[in-house]
Structure 1
Amino acid sequence: MTMKWLTILQFLEIVAAYGIVTLFLPWLVLRKRFRRFSAAEQLTGYFFAGNFYIIYLVYLLQFLHISNRVTLTAGTVGPFLLVWIWKRRSKIPGVIEWVLENVERLLSGERGKKTSLVQLRGTIYRRFFRGKRKQWLNVLLELAVMGAAIAAITYVYGPNMIEAYGYKASDIPVHNYWINELDRNNIWVAGVYPYGFHIVIYYLHMVFGIKTYVLLRIFGVVQTYFVYLAMVVALKMVCKGRFTPYLGVLFYVMDIFNRNTYARFEGALPQEFSMIFILTSVCMAIRFFQEFAKEQKAEENEKKELDQNCRWYLIQFAIGFSLTLTIHFYSTMIAGLFCIGVAVGFCFRFARWKYFRRIMATGILSVLLSVLPMAAGVAMGKGLQGSLYWGLSVINGGKDDETEATDSLVENTELSTISESEGTENRDGGSTVSASQVEALKKAAEEKLAEQAKEQQKPLKERLKEKFAAVRSSIRVNVMNVKPYIVEITLGSIVLLAALGSLMVLLREIDFAGVIFSTAFYLLCMCCLQCASLLHLPALMDPNRCSIFLCYSVCFSWTLGADAIVHLLIRWWKKRWVSNVASILTLVIAVSAVISNGLLRKPIVVDALEDNGAIACVTNILKENRNFTWTICSADDELRMTEFYGYHYETITFLRELQDLEKNPEIIMPTQNVYFFVEKIPIDYAGSTNHKEVTVEGAEAPLPSAGGIEPYFAENRWYTMCHIYYWTQKFKELYPDEMEVYYETDSFICYRVQQNVNSPYNFAIDYGYNNPTPKAGSEEE
């Protein structure tokens, strides 16, 4: 089976496994309780319940140090099975008797196979189709539209999944390490961190037996489907039309956004996974405001049911909002901004104590739910993980890595220029600042102050105009694919939404007006966050990350605006079918316009940080060998992928040992099979190697001396691969029968050495470049 077909089957397996635990099992238990809510609300409720349950189940078992396949499976199936049996306890004997009786009659020949099939078909028809023809036609139409949306998402994100097999983000190996440590019940091995994503991957690995490296290769595309689904479901909760919510998918697959706003969707990353819960959780808060208003006006006999509905919406909001913080704190910031938008849009209700106290209590509860496990980790003596400190520094006005590096480069350049021109050496070897330097610095400071004073003297209108132009330019360059009209549409849509909301107020559609105002303010906040430094506002996150969330917000806002316009045009027709026809016509027209104008995004291409041949070899090695009967000698890419199944010897460690054969006369890997991974054309990892093939010139150069993973970055990776390539050639020359080619492509080759574990080979040989002399003028010299 080729890797492409294997990847497709693994993708379907992961979708099925994740769908079972987050949708199917919750549906089995909760469908009767959720029956009175809309399909979108039910779907969201099941999804929240499933994710929340498995995450906190793993937390509990990890704290008790008993998390394994048996306890996880029992903790998952046991409660669901008990609830299912308890609800049907009175019917089970009769059902068993009916089944046994029919089986007996079938086996004894009293009833033929055709009669049984006819009876079964009749039962299915009575239960699902009789009297529901109109309903099923609507469902089929919905499924057709949904299928088209899935096809569009697959077209954009699917091909790359089956073309590039390796991890597609540099920090995935770190997440792989954290997930592996969960296997050892060692949660928070690197410090306390939102572990929701890691727990989901770990859970799927343990319960369904899917290897972690397979999940991390593919789950990025799986979660992307759910990110799109979450947008559609959230829009269905607040939109008037039945099919206009699918416009969100269309807008999000149009070629109008920069590549950096969607390229990360190819990687299995916590931030993108957490996006599933942003819109869905906040829309539950919106539904609370709408439903609670009905309760205040309802009759006494209706108040009880409406009160139950309100409580349900608050519970769902609490679960969804807590999941954002459980998975990634950046998504909590975005959800928080949307909550502020909801407070503004529904200010006429939010400001009332009966609304305020319930929504605030729910918000506090949701934060406590997510913080409690992490607080327990801190109480157990675990410190915070490093990226949390970094995130807090950015929120407090610090700079992200990219900005800090740029500023440092500029500052060092300026200081070196001054030092070269006028600086003097003190007796300790440091430079002193001369009087002329002090004067130059004073002059620069005075010029800056004068420029600021001049700026303040400008008329307010002119300053606002300049600021707006700067914001527009920043969004255009960083987010909108340098298409100016998209920026104007985005900023103009804020005004349009505000106007539509005002019009809805005049038409006494207060609930819908609140949604529109909330979305308008939310989009305004997102645009301000994207350009926070230009507006002298706190930069809660760096612009690159913010652009990902901004595009998601833009698509949601545009769809809601389109839905409001369609609703205005047909609101005088009271029949439901008119609304359905109008919404689907709008969708068809929009799709036709996008396709005819070539605005559909081309399939995304994201290079993997590992050669396809390496993944193919790992897959075959795991399949063909018993655990811990083999060793892979490669770069660090395969270390965390295979640590539970075999041994790993890092390439740079091996090569450095070969540099001193007197100190290391024997290098032995005592397993039945030893595999050497060599990139004939080293991949571009954290920098360009210009796709150069390995050559003698690279082997003649010294090995990279840097530590960590630096030997596999950029040009260093080329030197490393040149050395290991010529070592394999020499070893094959010495042992032609023992050193065989296991797998080879144009860019990659894997050699296998089969050996007797009681008499293993000594890999410490002189391959001609063990300790090359640095060339004259080189950095090492």
Structure 2
Amino acid sequence: MIVDTNAYILSMILVLLSCAVRDFLIPLFVWRNHLKNKSYAYRFWFCVITQASLQINLVLLLGFLDICNRGTVIGCNIVIYLLILWNFSDKKFFRRIKEWSDSFWEAYRNNRLLIYLLHEIAGWWKKLIRMIGGWMVWRYMLRHWLETLLMAGLIVYNIWFLTHNVMLYHCYQFSDIPVHQSWIYELEQGNLFSDGIYPFGMHAMTYIIRVLFGLNLREILLYAGAYQTVLLFVGLFLLAKEIFHGKYTPVTVVVIISFMLNQGRYAASLPQEAGMYAVVGIAYFMIRYLHEDRKKFVIEGDSRLRRIFRAGSYINRRYIRSEEILLMLCVGLVIAYHFYTAIAAIFLVAAIGIGYIPRIFKKQYFIPLLFCGIMGAFIAVLPMGACLAKGIPFQESMAWATSVMTGEEWVGSDPDYQSELAEALDRDDIGGSLDTDEEAEEEIEKVRVDYSVMTPVEILRFYFNALINFGILAMFGYDAIRLMFICMLFGAVCAVLLMLYGRTRCYGHDYMAMIINMIILCTLGAAQQLGLMELIAAARASTFAEPFIGFIYMLPVDFAFRVLGGWKNKYYRAVLNALSAAVCIGAAYMIVTLGWYHSFFDVNQAYYNESEYLLRNIKKSYEKNTFTIVSPTDEYYDVLDYGRHTQLSEFINMVNKNQEAFTFPTEYVFFFIEKKVLQDYFYGPVNVDLKYAAMDFVYFANTQDYYFERATIESQAYYWALKFKQMYPRNFKVYYEDDIYIAYIMKQNPYSPYDLQVDYLADYENVIEENGW
């Protein structure tokens, strides 16, 4: 297997740096006067939230107006940023420009222009060095050197872990990523919502990278998953700093999730996971708001009846400050990224609200938070509503929302594909999706639970076992899940104890909110076993739950640090800090020794590095539009700007005479064929074989063809190529071959192309008949 490590690492670095420039470097420069003297946590959240909100809504607006392209996006960004800079400036910019131009002209007239320019450059350089050296961040990092070192190490570790298999296979993690790739490509052509209205946050942010830096779209989607997961982990660290007392307990939270994460979706560039940092942002700003004592802001002296009509008095700058605006934007972002992410946010907000009863229902807290939620939702829904009014329909998978509202079950596209495949092949052993009505009713009966015949104790036992089963099957092993529930029990006791004292009451509410959130998510994941309506699959529920596992484990530990931290002696505090660091390191050691350390993620829809290597060489060696690539979808968008591409599945369907014959209009045609299939839904990793080539292939013009029928497609392509090479040995040759991959090149006269429909299995009829294939 070709692993061009240097090229892959360089590609990853460019993608990560581009994302960092987009999310941090630009806003830190543009908003530097606003961010001056702000905390580093605020700066982090401000940068990622405002940039995402600005760029996503800008792309949606320009797309709605049908003027979305590289020029308009860059132009609008320049105008917006210049207006921000001007607003925070002393309004003397043009005067300084005039003074500089006068000095420049005077130096030119006196023949000392070069000396003047060198002097100015030296002055700017010294000023830049002084400015960078004066940044307070260096002092902060020096004071918190161990915390900084641990977090930097965890960031590097997570980038390495999350991109390990991408480096090895240079592959997508999931089979639906090519669909998102197609939507982004269509957006580059000016077509917003090309497949229908869908939460477009991740797509817009990826498009911005393409616009600003021109990086390869496939490369961005390969590595953006690691970047967005690191953002999530930094957000979890900052949220933990708001809740926990131990100095290194927040780092321990990140250590736990970094070492135990087994949800492969976080390694992929998927919309749901891309927006999880915004879910944590909602919790962060909501908890900070609820921590504050707002008694002094209550309007006194009114009767109870009059206070009902005083709601508007709680919507002003006294309550809706910059942090509350960021909360509002977070609400908009979770909807803009994915509706499943919005569900996670709803449950987290509900958990915090329940945990903060009765404070949450006081008007000085409830009304501003409710206002932020409503306005954030309005910001996200408005562009979709405008596009719907324009005549753009919803994307097919958005039927999920309708199914939830009507109480029906939404099974998605994969089971539909299996059902259609089984029906086309007249088989009942494909995925079990082709059930009769009686079988379907029996299946429904299996998940119905009659609680009326159970005692309260039996119901609690049944409920607890369902949660345990969900945790074991969808998250971690039995021991880890058992410890999680033990920590939840002790954490609840600690929360009640903290609530007894005014000084620590808010932290008790925080503890309780984290516990309630985990219970809700586990209940959501165990819905099918509990006989409840399944809003989302258990695997997706675990996606929401896993990031918060570190909070649960640390509740009793942090309570101990909070109790022990009552004495303010600096030497004693230093000992506690050392103990907190030891707990952090000990947590990592225990995870590894107990066998809870995660393994590398499997790939769901993967392709070999050979395709990437070959495509790079073909694009360098052949002129544009002189070649056609016949391969799976994976290469499609890399080829479009250089040559032509034909789906290997469509080609095989044509060769099998199941559709009208077609030819290729280019002089050169390359056929990419896997000799060893890396992943097939039914057969796993297998070598191409005559028994697969003899199977019926059903073409649905769907990327799922390569997921469910890849062994058949590649085997038929392999035997077709052998036959065609035998027929035309001079013009059909092996372009590249190794143990797992082969590529052919066909040179033809475009005005008299080859007939490609040949009977490639005719020589094997006896073998096929003898083996019953």
Structure 2-normalised TM-score?
0.83
Change (3 A) 1:295 1:23: farther
Contact 1:237–1:283 under 8 Å retained in 2: yes
Q: Which of residues 511, 514, 523 is equivalent to 2:506?
A: 511
1:356-402 superposed Cα distances (whole Å, 9 cap, x missing partner):
21111111111111111111121112222222212442465433539
Q: Which of residues 673, 677, 682 is equivalent to 2:677?
A: 682
Structure 2 counterpart of 1:265: 266
Tell me how far apart the structure 2 counterparts of residues 121 and 140 of structure 1 sit (CA, whole Å). 27
Tell me how far apart the structure 2 counterparts of residues 558 and 151 of structure 1 sit (CA, whole Å). 24
Change (3 A) 1:641 1:109: closer
Tell me how far apart the structure 1 counterparts of residues 447 and 495 of structure 2 sit (CA, whole Å). 44
Q: Unmatched 5+ residue regions in structure 2?
A: 300-313, 420-428
Tell me how far apart the structure 1 counterparts of residues 470 and 591 of structure 2 sit (CA, whole Å). 26
Tell me how far apart the structure 2 counterparts of residues 711 and 521 of structure 1 sit (CA, whole Å). 38
Give the drift of 1:16.
1.5
Change (3 A) 1:94 1:731: same
Contact 1:394–1:541 under 8 Å retained in 2: no
Tell me how far apart the structure 2 counterparts of residues 308 and 323 of structure 1 sit (CA, whole Å). 24
Contact 1:164–1:608 under 8 Å retained in 2: no
Give the drift of 1:457.
5.2
Structure 1 counterpart of 2:463: 467
**Match for 1:149: what amino acid?**
L
Tell me how far apart the structure 2 counterparts of residues 560 and 448 of structure 1 sit (CA, whole Å). 34
Query: Is residue 497 of structure 1 aligned with residue 476 of structure 2?
Result: no
Give the drift of 1:708.
2.9
Tell me how far apart the structure 2 counterparts of residues 119 and 386 of structure 1 sit (CA, whole Å). 55
Structure 1 counterpart of 2:738: 745
Contact 2:680–2:708 under 8 Å retained in 1: no
Tell me how far apart the structure 1 counterparts of residues 382 and 97 of structure 2 sit (CA, whole Å). 44
Moved more, 123-132 or 508-517: 123-132
Give the drift of 1:535.
4.1
Contact 1:40–1:236 under 8 Å retained in 2: no
1:223-268 superposed Cα distances (whole Å, 9 cap, x missing partner):
222222222232234333443212122111334x6x4xx1122221
Change (3 A) 1:200 1:541: same
Contact 1:11–1:222 under 8 Å retained in 2: no
Tell me how far apart the structure 2 counterparts of residues 522 and 276 of structure 1 sit (CA, whole Å). 16
**Match for 2:350: what amino acid?**
I
Query: Is residue 169 of structure 1 aligned with residue 174 of structure 2?
Result: yes
Change (3 A) 1:767 1:521: closer
Moved more, 467-476 or 572-581: 572-581
Moved more, 178-187 or 120-129: 120-129
Alignment of 1:19-58 (within 5 A): 19-58=20-59
Moved more, 557-566 or 398-407: 398-407
Number of aligned residue pairs:
736
Query: Is residue 229 of structure 1 aligned with residue 226 of structure 2?
Result: no
**3-state SS in 2 of match to 1:347:** coil
Contact 2:198–2:394 under 8 Å retained in 1: yes
Give the drift of 1:496.
2.4
Query: Is residue 480 of structure 1 aligned with residue 476 of structure 2?
Result: yes
Give the drift of 1:66.
0.9
**3-state SS in 2 of match to 1:152:** helix
Change (3 A) 1:776 1:624: closer
**3-state SS in 2 of match to 1:33:** helix
1:659-707 superposed Cα distances (whole Å, 9 cap, x missing partner):
569985xx54222432111111223232215512344x555x2652443
Alignment of 1:277-426 (within 5 A): 277-291=278-292, 293=294, 296=297, 311-394=321-404, 397-401=407-411, 409=432, 412=435, 415=438
Give the drift of 1:315.
0.7
Tell me how far apart the structure 2 counterparts of residues 676 and 567 of structure 1 sit (CA, whole Å). 65
1:118-176 superposed Cα distances (whole Å, 9 cap, x missing partner):
99679845873599985451254443122221233134223212001122211112212
Tell me how far apart the structure 1 counterparts of residues 186 and 127 of structure 2 sit (CA, whole Å). 53
Tell me how far apart the structure 2 counterparts of residues 662 and 234 of structure 1 sit (CA, whole Å). 57
Contact 1:106–1:113 under 8 Å retained in 2: no
Tell me how far apart the structure 2 counterparts of residues 448 and 368 of structure 1 sit (CA, whole Å). 37
Contact 2:676–2:741 under 8 Å retained in 1: yes
Structure 2 counterpart of 1:3: 4
Structure 1 counterpart of 2:211: 206
Tell me how far apart the structure 2 counterparts of residues 556 and 83 of structure 1 sit (CA, whole Å). 38
Query: Is residue 723 of structure 1 aligned with residue 716 of structure 2?
Result: yes
Give the drift of 1:107.
8.6
Change (3 A) 1:448 1:34: closer
Q: Which of residues 158, 161, 178 is equivalent to 1:156?
A: 161
Structure 2 counterpart of 1:628: 625
**Match for 1:369: what amino acid?**
I
Contact 2:290–2:365 under 8 Å retained in 1: yes
Contact 1:470–1:534 under 8 Å retained in 2: yes
Contact 1:395–1:538 under 8 Å retained in 2: no
Query: Is residue 540 of structure 1 aligned with residue 524 of structure 2?
Result: no
Moved more, 614-623 or 245-254: 614-623
Contact 1:291–1:309 under 8 Å retained in 2: no
Give the drift of 1:69.
0.9
**3-state SS in 2 of match to 1:254:** helix
1:208-233 superposed Cα distances (whole Å, 9 cap, x missing partner):
21222222222222222222222223
Tell me how far apart the structure 2 counterparts of residues 703 and 356 of structure 1 sit (CA, whole Å). 61
Change (3 A) 1:45 1:134: closer
